[in-house]
Structure 1
Amino acid sequence: MTTDTAAASGTETAADLVAAYRPGRSSLFASPRGTLLAEGTYFAVPPSGRRDALADLDRRVRAVLGVAEAAGHSVRAVVGAVPFAPDAHAHLVVPMHLRRGGPAGPERPVSLERHGITGLHAVPAPDRYAAAVGRAVRQIGDGHYTKVVLARSLRADSPGFDPAPVVRALAAREPGGYTFGVDLGAGRTLLGASPELLVSRHGRRVAAHPLAGSAARSADPAEDARRAAALLRSEKDRHEHAVVTRAVADALRPFCAQLTVPPEPSLVRTATMWHLGTLVTGAVADPATSALTLATALHPTPAVCGTPTAAARAAIGELEPFDRGFYTGMVGWVDAAGDGEWAVTIRCAVADPGGLDLFAGAGIVAGSDPGAELAETSAKLGTMLAALGLSTERADVA
């Protein structure tokens, strides 16, 4: 990756970059591989003239990177986020400066006692979310689709909200994940700590780490181990995971000369959740195939949308009472050489000057229990609630 000389010298640590993050003036993306701090905007990727904006996103990004190269700009990479809906506008920019450091490591948790949250409002209310899950289960039984991911949101009121300390808390709390704070303009910030790698490409090496099948963690070590073992044995969760893994492998295979898919999932843990995960690895057949090319071929996976995709999207539009925006999209970067990393935009929120909207979803299949799916979304909201200094019990607010 081409970066400014300060970053290229390798003198900055992840802690330096996280501390230097300033909402509205920079964007942060921290992964197990390294940390990026993008400062300012040199050139923004323009909107698409097509209804399916995702279809020509790779072309538009390549064009912008070509402009940067022709102008002699020192940064040859774009950083930002892509929304869930295919017709929505991505927010990707070539930054003025790009600083790079190592991976984030465990640090002392950041105190957020003065988070300033004055109210929480669930959208939809918990009982309405459970009712929507019930409707989805009936539609699955009627053969409309086989899986749909239904989400819900919490609005946290906080006049003058500052995302920076929350992003720092997430980086300290979830160092093994993908922490991000992306400037969306107009005083808005996309922030979160995703556990899920959509895809990365470094040289010709490709990796994807789909997650599907989840269980809430427990503070009691014995109970926590029991929940992890039960998840690994669960036929429902293993089937759901196999569907997602197969879809990811099928989407990557046309681009790869070699692809390895482990036959069994592994347990992946975060501070609040257990997940089933499968690390898919391979090598691109054509070095011109960029990380963004691969990401757009994968997006959206059944883990965030459902199957079949078109029917699941339609159900989401019918059953969810809000626009997902960047939630369940993808966040990350790609450079002119085609290297890059894209995480699935989950365990996240969108902040504005009046507060922030938190999101979480659950995969609904035949036999899903509305109460259990509501509990799963509450546990997933715990990542952001904990970073805000709030109890995870607040996820069930009416």
Structure 2
Amino acid sequence: MTTAQFDAMSTDALALLTEYRPETPFFFASPRGTIATEGRYFTVPDDRDPAGAVRGVLDLAAGDGHDAPVVVGAVPFDSHAGPKLSVPRRVHRAGPLPDRIIAPGTPVTAGARTVEVPASAAYVDGVRRAVTRLRAGELDKVVLARALDVTTDRAIDIGLLLRHLAARDPGGYTFAVDLAPGTLVGNSPELLVSRRGDLVTANPLAGSLPRSADPIEDFGQAQALLASRKDRREHALVAEAVGEALRPYCTDVEVPAEPSLLRTAAMWHLSSVVRGRVADPAISSLTLGMALHPTPAVCGTPTGDARAAIAEYEDFDRGFYTGMVGWENADGDGEWVIALRCAVTHGRTARLYAGAGIVADSDPDAELAETTAKFRTMLAGLGL
């Protein structure tokens, strides 16, 4: 599938969203376009080099007679844990979702029970201990996450959940990936990387504040975030790290000197759009994604020390949360987003995830409040 073929509006994006079924292996809607797939033609083998394995499988599929193969799926936070990537038998493509989507009147669930993992007090204590290490100079930043286990009154309708998520944030990246068992579903605000011809784009987000229903207070929150020394320092660490990770693969890498504001229904974020051009056409979108993954926005810095701190303070497996979700075609073009504002659903259960970037100036209670606000995306999608 060439870039021109992908960008063509061969069907209606809203129809692809509305017609999603549980047996659909992959759904992905972005400002660039919408994909829904059918079946599996080849599965990408578990490999320590997912980008190389993808290129091999795409070549194999093309040699086997597949018409314009594309790889779709997800890579976990721990990229050695095994990705869920495959060549679908059939791909349905469309343009982006409309700017306004009417939310379905049917709720995803009528009620639910929730359990925090860990409890709020334990999360605050973990952040407090991390801040002590940050102030001692052991780390520059670490991202600490927590989970929320939800048990609903009836089986979760993924298609209905997707439509609620897209209606709430139609400009985000709405996705569903069959993990067999379970489904990774969410609406992420953050583009890890895209490649379109030789043009490479990344959009790191770091530094966040909750939105307010009051317009005046909401404007104040946005301005406070833009002026926050703590959040601007956190953002600068991420934006510069993304630029440095791209430079071995790209020319003309541009990192904005100042962040801008990006808003979702639940949050304000500091945002930078980083651009460059691939130095070699053989450098694929997934090669770029693996070079960036995990960014300091979801892990911390230095990366090795931050990973160790995450393993110490988080008492659950992130799985595909803060991993990457997306697609790549035979030309090497593709689009990969960070798996944020997401959950893994299975029957009547869902595990929701949210994290916060911890730096030396972090207030543990404020970081707890940030994760609570980030849960709103999935909780609202579920109707809770």
Q: Measure the CA separation in 2 of the matches of 1:22 and 1:42.
A: 18
CA distance in 2, matches of 1:293, 1:116: 43
Shift of the 77–114 alpha-carbon distance from structure 1 to 2, 3 Å rule, reads: closer
Give the counterpart of 1:295 among 280, 289, 297.
289
Moved more, 202-211 or 166-175: 166-175
Structure 1, unmatched stretches of 5+, are: 391-398
Equivalent position amino acid for 2:170 in 1: P
The corresponding residue for 2:44 is 45
- Residue 113 (structure 1) aligns with: 107
CA distance in 1, matches of 2:7, 2:251: 31
Task: Give the corresponding residue for 2:320.
Answer: 326
Deviation, structure 1 residue 289: 0.8
Change in 2 beyond 3 A, CA 1:8/1:137: closer
Q: Aligned runs of 1:123-162 on 2, under 5 Å?
A: 123-158=117-152, 159-162=154-157
Partner in structure 1 of residue 224 of structure 2: 230
**Counterpart contact for 1:23–1:163, Cα < 8 Å:** yes
Aligned to 2:343, the other structure's residue is in SS state: strand
- Structure 2 counterpart of 1:287, one-letter code: P
How far apart are residue 254 of structure 1 and its match? 1.3
Deviation of 1:175 after TM superposition, in Å, equals 1.2
Tell me how far apart the structure 2 counterparts of residues 30 and 249 of structure 1 sit (CA, whole Å): 26
- Helix, strand or coil at the partner of 2:179: strand
Give the Å deviation of 1:120: 0.7
Is there any run of 5+ residues in structure 2 with no aligned partner, and where? none
Query: CA, structure 1 residues 333+73, in 2 after alignment: closer, same or farther (shift >3 Å)?
Result: same
Of residues 40, 63, 67, the one that matches 1:70 is 63
| Structure 1 position 112, deviation (Å) | 4.4
Q: Residues 318, 59 of structure 1: CA spacing in aligned structure 2 closer, same or farther, 3 A cutoff?
A: same
TM-score for both structures, normalised by structure 2: 0.96
Amino acid of the residue matched to residue 382 of structure 1? Answer: R
Distance 2:284 2:337 in 1: 15
Q: After alignment, is 109-118 or 376-385 more displaced?
A: 109-118
> What is the distance in 1 between the residues matched to 2:76 and 2:106?
29
1:96 to 78, 89, 94: 89
1:396 match? none
Superposed displacement of residue 168, structure 1: 1.3
Contact map agreement 1:77 1:333 (CA 8 A) in 2:
yes
Shift of 1:116: 4.2
- Paired with 1:69 and 1:141, the residues of 2 have a C-alpha distance of 53
Q: Give the distance between the partners of 1:24 and 1:116, measured in 2 at CA.
A: 24
Is the contact between residue 108 and residue 160 of structure 2 (CA under 8 Å) also seen in structure 1?
no
**1:179 corresponds to:** 174
**Paired residue for 2:214, among 204, 211, 220?**
220
- Quote the Cα distance in structure 2 between the aligned partners of 1:367 and 1:26: 42
Contact 2:108 2:157 (8 Å CA) reproduced? no
Give a deviation string over 1:224-259, Cα, whole Å, max 9, x none: 000000100001100100000000000011111211
Equivalent position of 1:394 in the other structure = none
Q: CA deviation at 1:11?
A: 3.6
Work out whether 1:338 is the aligned partner of 2:332. Answer: yes
Q: Say if 1:371 and 1:204 are closer, same or farther in 2 by CA, change over 3 A.
A: same
The residue number in structure 2 matching 1:79 is: 72
Q: C-alpha separation between the residues in 2 aligned to 1:271 and 1:143?
A: 35
> What's the CA shift for 1:31?
0.2
1:122: which partner in 2? 116
Paired position in structure 1 for 2:269: 275
* 1:354 Cα deviation from its structure 2 partner: 3.2
Match of 2:158 among 154, 163, 166: 163
* Percent of pairs with identical residues: 55
Q: CA deviation at 1:8?
A: 8.4
For residue 304 of structure 1, what is the aligned residue in structure 2? 298
> Given the alignment of the two structures, is residue 239 of structure 1 paired with residue 233 of structure 2, yes or no?
yes
Q: CA offsets, 1:183-219, max 9 Å, x none?
A: 1112x10000000000000001110000000000000
Q: Structure 1 residues 309, 104: closer, same or farther in 2, change over 3 A?
A: same
1:97 maps to amino acid: R
Deviation at 1:142, TM superposition (A): 2.8
Matched with 2:360 is 366
Aligned-CA RMSD value: 1.5
User: 2:17 aligns to what SS in structure 1?
Assistant: helix
Q: How far 1:262 moved relative to its partner?
A: 1.5
Q: Distance in 2 between matches of 1:9 and 1:273?
A: 32
In 2, the alpha carbon distance for the partners of 1:9 and 1:83 equals 30
Give, in angstroms, the shift of residue 90 of structure 1.
Answer: 0.3
Counterpart of 2:369 (choices 372, 375, 379) is: 375
C-alpha separation in 2, matches of 1:336 and 1:306 = 33
**AA in 2 matched with 1:213:** G
Equivalences for residues 29-44 of structure 1 within 5 A: 29-44=28-43
Give the Cα separation in 2 of the matches to 1:222 and 1:338. Answer: 45
Aligned length: 381
Q: CA deviation at 1:103?
A: 0.2
- Structure 2 residue aligned with 1:395: none
Cα displacement (A) at 1:160:
2.3
Q: Once the 2 structures are TM-superposed, how far is the Cα of residue 378 of structure 1 from its aligned partner?
A: 0.5
Preserved CA contact (<8 Å) 2:108 2:156 = no
